[in-house]
Structure 1
Amino acid sequence: MTRAVHDFLFTVYPYICLAVFLLGSLARFDRDQYTWKSDSSQLLRAGQLRWGSNLFHVGILFLLFGHTVGLLTPHWLYEPFIGAGQKQMVAVVSGGAAGALCFVGLTMLLHRRLSDPRIRATSHRTDVAILVVLWAQLVLGLVTLPFSVHHRDGGTMMILAGWAQGIVTFRPDAAALAGVEWPFKTHMVLGMTLFLLFPFTRLVHVWSGLATVGYLFRPYQVVRSRRMNIVAARTRPGRSA
């Protein structure tokens, strides 16, 4: 990888992906709301979907939360409680377990979509493509685990976290990644590409899942019987009982 390509991928490309991710999702919601769905194929074959979907979603949600917290939490915040090396080993063990669950579930979903003629006939090309990209990304993530175990001091994790926090604070430092092994870099680039592809696939339904959290904070809905509505209407000011 040349220096120019390296700097582009880890300095400019992240912002391109984030811009398309946010603006593309907003544009799709505004213009094509009828396509904003997960396109479930449960009616065609429910058994394998139940197992595959549950394993995949449990694993991917844990990985998403773990990557977000692990990369974006400043080191000084957790340093009094756990060292960088210990944190990295926790990430390897927990991430490896979640990754294994996700791998089994995603493989089942991909096999189901490719092997069943009815499901394959009703699938969009983007449905299969995004599953393949997710599968490749998951495999790359599992490949990084032996490299992480080899660097038990947590040095690589600190470098990756520093880069991610630099992206968020608009201070990207691609040079810091110069010594990082290729599986990590490939995993990062493909992960950013998933954000780029997000608005054009069924992954947009993730936004709807996050939006349901708002229901926890909605006020209670007042529901009255028909009899109570009639009594309330008759006793309003200006009307005789």
Structure 2
Amino acid sequence: MTTLHNFFFNVYPYVCLSVFLMGSLARFDRDQYTWKSDSSQLLRKGQLRWGSNLFHIGILFLFFGHAVGLLTPHFFYEGFMSAAVKQRLAIYAGGTAGVICFVGLSLLLHRRIFDPRIRLTSHKTDLFILVILWVQLVLGLITLPYSYGHSDGQAMLVLADWAQRIVTFRPDAAGLVALEWPYKVHLVLGMTIFLLFPFSRLVHVWSGFGTLAYFFRPYQVVRSRKIGLPPTRSDPQSHVPR
């Protein structure tokens, strides 16, 4: 178990992150026509509106909540918030978002499996990744009672310390040994989702974050041209051959 523990929490994270980054880049470079969400909205809209909206609202909150909660050093907030208060906040806010996301994903999964038209046009990887996400959400909800039992916030501090050591290339998973099994399985499956990311429809998430660049792009300059007058030297289009 010591060898497995060391592999899954000290080595496996870097394997998953390497495949996640390099695999996404390779797919964008070689298979851009497959870089899409494969929406099935045209086949049937039933359950899609509620399922998709609830799922995306919940998953975005969970993603940023996990990122901020795990990667923010304790000294940033210890002056105005204790670890116990932060953990209770994570339980209530994350639990609410988890339930919302679970309901939405359950609707999407039911639609994919039990609608004959959608099931026939769905790739096996679509169903596979939805099932993995569903199991991951269930595991996340299972951890809530355990987190509530750690009222002093020590479990959150252990998880945050491990995550911060991973991103700063100082891996040390010794503190995770004493944690309950749902936390460990939840971490391993979460890293596995990053491993499978470049080979599934999840790559369209990159495009969603890429749209933020539109807020920072320069304005497009459009110059009008007077009709009926010959172009002048100052006209930027005068060099264009007719």
- Normalised by the length of structure 2, the TM-score is 0.94
Number of the residue aligned with 2:179? 180
Cα distance change on mapping 1:88 and 1:236 into 2, 3 Å: same
Q: Deviations over 1:43-75 (max 9, x none)?
A: 011131111000000000000000000000000
Number of the residue aligned with 1:27? 26
Number of the residue aligned with 2:120? 121
Q: Deviations over 1:30-52 (max 9, x none)?
A: 11000000000000111311110
Shift >3 Å, 4+ stretches: 229-233
Distance in 2, matches of 1:152 and 1:132, equals 32
Number of the residue aligned with 2:216? 217
Number of the residue aligned with 1:93? 92
**Match of 2:47, SS?**
helix
Q: Is it true that 1:161 corresponds to 2:160 in the alignment?
A: yes
Aligned length, in residue pairs: 236
**Match of 1:234, SS?**
coil
Cα distance change on mapping 1:222 and 1:152 into 2, 3 Å: same
Distance in 2, matches of 1:165 and 1:92, equals 20
Cα distance change on mapping 1:96 and 1:232 into 2, 3 Å: farther
Distance in 2, matches of 1:96 and 1:142, equals 7
Q: Is it true that 1:36 corresponds to 2:35 in the alignment?
A: yes
**Match of 2:9, SS?**
helix
Distance in 2, matches of 1:233 and 1:5, equals 77
Number of the residue aligned with 1:52? 51
Distance in 2, matches of 1:231 and 1:64, equals 58
Q: Which amino acid aligns with 1:106?
A: L
Number of the residue aligned with 2:146? 147
Q: Deviations over 1:185-218 (max 9, x none)?
A: 0000000000000000000000000000000011
Number of the residue aligned with 2:232? 235
Cα distance change on mapping 1:231 and 1:208 into 2, 3 Å: farther
Q: Is it true that 1:137 corresponds to 2:136 in the alignment?
A: yes
Q: Deviations over 1:111-131 (max 9, x none)?
A: 000011110010000000000
Q: How far apart are 1:221 and its partner, in Å?
A: 1.4
Cα distance change on mapping 1:14 and 1:237 into 2, 3 Å: closer
Number of the residue aligned with 1:62? 61
Q: How far apart are 1:223 and its partner, in Å?
A: 3.0
Distance in 1, matches of 2:23 and 2:95, equals 32
Number of the residue aligned with 1:10? 9
Distance in 1, matches of 2:230 and 2:192, equals 59
1 or 2, which has the higher helix percentage? 1
Q: Which amino acid aligns with 2:211?
A: T
Q: Structure 1: any 5+ residue segments left out of the alignment?
A: none
Q: How far apart are 1:175 and its partner, in Å?
A: 1.2
Distance in 1, matches of 2:139 and 2:233, equals 68
- Normalised by the length of structure 1, the TM-score is 0.95
- Map 1:200-215 onto structure 2 (within 5 A): 200-215=199-214
Distance in 2, matches of 1:114 and 1:232, equals 65
Cα distance change on mapping 1:125 and 1:20 into 2, 3 Å: same
Cα distance change on mapping 1:80 and 1:232 into 2, 3 Å: farther
Distance in 2, matches of 1:163 and 1:145, equals 19
Distance in 1, matches of 2:25 and 2:211, equals 17
Cα distance change on mapping 1:230 and 1:61 into 2, 3 Å: same
